[in-house]
Structure 1
Amino acid sequence: MILKRFFQRSQSPARSCYEAIVAAARHPRLYADWGVPDTLDGRFDMITLHTYLVLERLKGEEPEFRQAVVDEFFRDMDRSLREMGVGDLSVGKKVRKMAESFYGRIAAYDAALAAPGDGLAAALARNVFPDEEGGPDIAGVRRLAEFVLTQRARLAAQPVRAIAGGDVRFEEPGP
């Protein structure tokens, strides 16, 4: 037990930040109360959204840390695919497809937040709730859009140095 402490590497700040992102993205209320699909795609979308919020907060600052968080994201996606039994030859293709989805969503959220109006709700409806029969639950989309804006403000109030040190704090989704 004591020897384990000597050989155990300390966790990187990017890993700590990414773990906070995943914990926030897995909050049960997002799925149970707000209608985010509790599927692989829904979870991917929530992790992508929370990662986006951190990257957006650090835009123009801490470029190495931002890249390290993205690297953690893709390492996690790679590991998850392998745990699900995806073969080595297919992992690269699937991660490439995930990367396209990830960067497409980043661009969509950037554009939505830069423009006035309901662009954010539309982007969330398209990306998070795309396959819902009869269209997405509008109330769930609006709650998620409000939540994104609240998280964005909360992150803006957190010092860059703290976030880059791995200490990022998300607010829990309300009822």
Structure 2
Amino acid sequence: MSVIARKSLVPAIKHTWSIQRPLLAQCKAPVQSAALVSNFMKQDNEHSLMPASVCQKSTSLIHTRWNSSSTATSTESKEQGSKYSATTKKIVLGLAKAMGYYSTGSTAIKASHSLYNTCAQQMELNKDFYIKECNLPDNFQSWFSVTQLHVWMLMVHLRAEGQGKLYIQELVNRFFEDAEARIRDHGISQQKVINSYIKDLLAQFHGGVVAYDEGMCKDDPVLAAALWRNLFAISSNNATDLALVVQYIRRELQALEKYGGENLNAGIVKFDKPDVTFV
């Protein structure tokens, strides 16, 4: 190209760049850039150094590249959404089971916390009945006796389950862990003294379980006698209180039958309030 020809192109180049620069500066995305370039090519084709056909091909190429990029991004997002394949999930679950996370023992431990908490809350939830109606003193021993009664009822229900023995053991573990924590909350910190208390409570627990089992299998007078020795011995109750608790036990043992394996595995169980009148 001659010097004269090059000089004649300079004004056109400057004019074209003066139009392109502010337009391109506003571009914030490839689609916007393509649209602006396309409009520019249509409106100022006479100033362009490229033929219109070339401009159209260039615009088409920009759109094609952007669409390809969008498709790739979308595909990548979908791949990230399904990051783990069914095979990977199966392997991970298999490893979890191998490590004991879904084992019967692990499930029993997790469920026992919820099951026990339901038993431990009964004294607080029904204070009006046990403290006011039955005249039990509001102290640690009353809490232990009422909680033991509900733990025993749940034990009776768990005996019929396939892995009931394991669940019962974990339930009793939670009971005595809580009992020890409550002893410490009363200001007793010497381990020797705590061990002595736990030993006495354990003997009381085993004696109560045997007595309640006998009363359940025999008749209401035998069950009432077990309640007298294990629950009401420290109170000035009367025969009506004994009869109301016997009625409550019979009703709740029957109600617990609706809580099957899935509920127990999830730690779901419920006790209703004791009645203050005979039904």
Alignment equivalent of 2:135, drawn from 18, 35, 39: 35
Alignment equivalent of 1:98, drawn from 185, 196, 201: 201
Paired position in structure 1 for 2:264: 163
Indicate conservation of the 8 Å contact 1:17/1:166, yes or no. Answer: yes
Name the CA shift for 1:37/1:151 in 2 (closer, same or farther; >3 Å). Answer: farther
Indicate conservation of the 8 Å contact 2:137/2:235, yes or no. Answer: no
Alignment equivalent of 1:13, drawn from 100, 111, 123: 111
Indicate conservation of the 8 Å contact 1:45/1:127, yes or no. Answer: yes
Indicate conservation of the 8 Å contact 2:136/2:232, yes or no. Answer: yes
Residues 92-142 of structure 1: per-residue CA shift (max 9 Å, x gap): 111011000011100100011111341111110121111345xx3111111
Partner of 2:134, secondary structure, is: coil
Q: What is the rounded CA distance, in whole Å, between the counterparts of 1:141 and 1:25 in structure 2?
A: 16
Alignment equivalent of 2:150, drawn from 50, 57, 61: 50
The worse-fitting range, judged by mean Cα deviation, of 87-96 and 60-69 is 60-69
Q: Does 1:88 align with 2:191?
A: yes
Q: What is the rounded CA distance, in whole Å, between the counterparts of 2:134 and 2:235 in structure 1?
A: 13
Residue 103 of structure 1 aligns with an amino acid whose one-letter code is H
Indicate conservation of the 8 Å contact 2:220/2:246, yes or no. Answer: no
Name the CA shift for 1:74/1:166 in 2 (closer, same or farther; >3 Å). Answer: same
Q: What are the ranges of 5 or more consecutive residues in structure 1 without an aligned counterpart?
A: 1-10
Residue 151 of structure 1 aligns with an amino acid whose one-letter code is E
Paired position in structure 1 for 2:173: 71
Name the CA shift for 1:132/1:21 in 2 (closer, same or farther; >3 Å). Answer: closer
Name the CA shift for 1:173/1:119 in 2 (closer, same or farther; >3 Å). Answer: same
Paired position in structure 2 for 1:149: 250
Alignment equivalent of 2:227, drawn from 112, 124, 143: 124
Higher relative contact order (CA 8 A, sep 6+): 1
Q: What is the rounded CA distance, in whole Å, between the counterparts of 2:122 and 2:234 in structure 1?
A: 23
Aligned length: 163
In terms of fraction of residues, the more helix-rich structure is 2
TM-score normalized by the length of structure 1: 0.86
Indicate conservation of the 8 Å contact 1:45/1:128, yes or no. Answer: yes
Name the CA shift for 1:52/1:146 in 2 (closer, same or farther; >3 Å). Answer: same
Residues 11-50 of structure 1: per-residue CA shift (max 9 Å, x gap): 9211111111111233222222233332222111100000
Deviation at 1:152, TM superposition (A): 0.7
Indicate conservation of the 8 Å contact 2:157/2:256, yes or no. Answer: yes
Indicate conservation of the 8 Å contact 2:135/2:235, yes or no. Answer: no
Residues 61-100 of structure 1: per-residue CA shift (max 9 Å, x gap): 2222111111000100111111112222211111011000
Q: What is the rounded CA distance, in whole Å, between the counterparts of 1:144 and 1:36 in structure 2?
A: 13
Residue 175 of structure 2 aligns with an amino acid whose one-letter code is F
